[in-house]
Amino acid sequence: MMAIFEYAPAPESRDVVDIKPAYGLFINGEFVDGSGPTFKTINPATEEKLAEIATATSDDVDRAVQAARKAFGVWSALPGAERAKYLFRIARIIQERARELAVLESLDNGKPIRESRDVDLPLVAAHFFYYAGWADKLEYAGFGRKPLGVAGQVIPWNFPLLMLAWKIAPALACGNTVVLKPAETTPLTALLFADICRQADLPPGVVNIVTGAGETGAAVVAHPDVNKVAFTGSTEVGRIIARAVAGTDKKLTLELGGKAANIVFEDAALDQAVEGIVNGIFFNQGHVCCAGSRLLVQESIQDELLDALKRRLGTLRVGDPLDKNTDVGAINSADQLAKIRELSEIGESEGALRWSPACELPDKGFWFPPTIFTGVAQSHTIARDEIFGPVLSVLTFRTPAEAVEKANNTPYGLSAGIWTEKGSRILWMADKLRAGVVWANTFNKFDPASPFGGYKESGYGREGGLLGLEAYLDV
C-alpha cells in the first residue's frame, strides 16, 4: 500500500531457527515416531514446506495419556513451591529463546514478526510467571487445592504458542499433567516448547504433545482416562466436544467463536478510536476469536469516522510476515482464505458495499486485503457469522440503548469495545453488554491476571486470572 514514506525492507533473520526436516510426537519426555501417516506444515506466506509432522493415532494418544497418568502421581505430590520452580524455569527459558520462538511462530502461522515478538511472546512468558506464582498459594484461591488428573487440551492455529501457555500453565500450577494437541497447520512452536520442557528438566510425562488433525483431537477428548478437557476453537467443533463429554465425569471448558461489537460514540477521541478499530479487526489478520468484527458507529459521526478509518487503512503494510515493517501478514491456510472469500462474496451479494485500500498482494501464499463493508444490516450473513479474517462490518446506531441491543443481537458473547469520554456511559454499557470481556477506549488488551471467556455460543469457563485456576481443580 502507498505510504507517505517508503519503508526499506527490515527482514528478521530466519537463521535463529533450526527447523528439523521431520518431527515426532513428544511422549513421556522423549520424541517418538507416530503410528499414523505424516503430514507437512507449510509457510502460509510462501507455501514452502517447513517440516514433516507425525500423526498420532488413538494408540499414540493412549500412550501419551498413560504417561501423563503415571507422571500425575509424582507431579501432584510435589509441594506447590517445587512445581513453581519448574514453571519459573520454563518462563525464563521462553524469554531467553523468545526471538527463536517468535520467528518460528511467524513462519508457521503467517502473523507479522512484530506481533509475535511484541505481543505473543511476552504474554506467553507472563502466563507461566503468573501461574508459577499461584502454585504454592492454591489454598488461598478459594477452590481447594486438589488437582483433577490428566488434562486433554486442544488448541487452535491463530495464537499457537499463546494458547498453549493459557492451557498448560494453570494446569501444571494446580498439579495436573497434560496431553496437548496443537493445530494441524501450526505445530512447530508446540514442538519447540516440548524441547523447552526437556531443557527445564520437567519430569517426563508431565507435558505430552501429540500432533495430528481432527481425529487426533477427538481421540484426546474421548480417552476414558482424561479427567479434564479444554478446547479453544470453532463453535461447531465445541458442540461436538460437548456432546462427546456429556454423560462422563470429565470437566470441560470451551472458548469458542465471537462476533464482537466495537461501539464508537460521537464524543470518542476519533484518532484513538480509529487505532482501536484497526487493532480490533486487523491484528493477526483478523484471526482473533474476540476480534472487533462489527463496528457500531453513532450515526452523527459515521462519515467522519469512516473517512479517517479508510485513510488509516491506506497506510497499513501487507506482506512478508518476517519484515518488521509489516502490519498485516498472511492468512493461515488455503482453507481459511477460501472461507473468508466466500463470506465476503456473500456480503456483496446481500447488498453490502465492499471497500479495500489499493493493495498489491504477493503472488505466492495466502493473502487477503484489509476489507470494510458498509451498508450492513443486522440480517446480513457478514453481521452474524464469524469470518475470522481481516473483514469489518459497519453498522450504525443513534442511542446507547440501540447500541446495546444491536451489540447483543448475536449468538456469541466473547468481547466488546466501548469508545466514549463518559465514564458513567462506559459502566452503564459494560453492565448491559452480554460479553465476557468489555474493553473501554482500548481493544485486544490481555493480561494473565485477567480472566477471559464468553457467554452463549462463545463457550463457558474462564481462562487466565484467579478464575483460570477453577477449571483445573476439583472444586
Q: Just list the catalytic residues.
A: 255, 289
101 exposed, middle or buried (CB, 10 Å; 0-12, 13-18, 19+)? buried
Amino acid at 427: L
Q: Which has the closest alpha carbon to 158: 183, 177, 139?
A: 183
Cα(82)–Cα(95) distance, integer angstroms: 20
Q: For residue 76, give the H/E element and its range.
A: helix 58-77
Cα(416)–Cα(106) distance, integer angstroms: 27
Q: Which has the closest alpha carbon to 149: 211, 225, 37?
A: 225
Between helix 121-134 and helix 80-96 the angle, nearest 10°, is 170
Maximum distance among all Cα pairs of the chain, rounded to whole angstroms: 63
Cα(192)–Cα(436) distance, integer angstroms: 32
Cα(434)–Cα(415) distance, integer angstroms: 8
Cα(147)–Cα(220) distance, integer angstroms: 19
Q: Which has the closest alpha carbon to 66: 172, 230, 208, 164?
A: 208
- The answer to whether 99 and 16 are in contact (CB under 8 A) is yes
Amino acid at 379: S
Q: Sign of the C-alpha dihedral, residues 159, 131, 276, 412?
A: positive
Cα(127)–Cα(200) distance, integer angstroms: 16
CB atoms within 10 A of CB 131: 27
Q: Based on C-alpha coordinates, what's the Rg of the chain?
A: 22
Write down the residue that cell numbers 517440516 correspond to: 51
Q: Which three cell numbers stand for residue 255?
A: 472458548
Q: What angle do CA 366, 50, 220 make, to 5 degrees?
A: 90
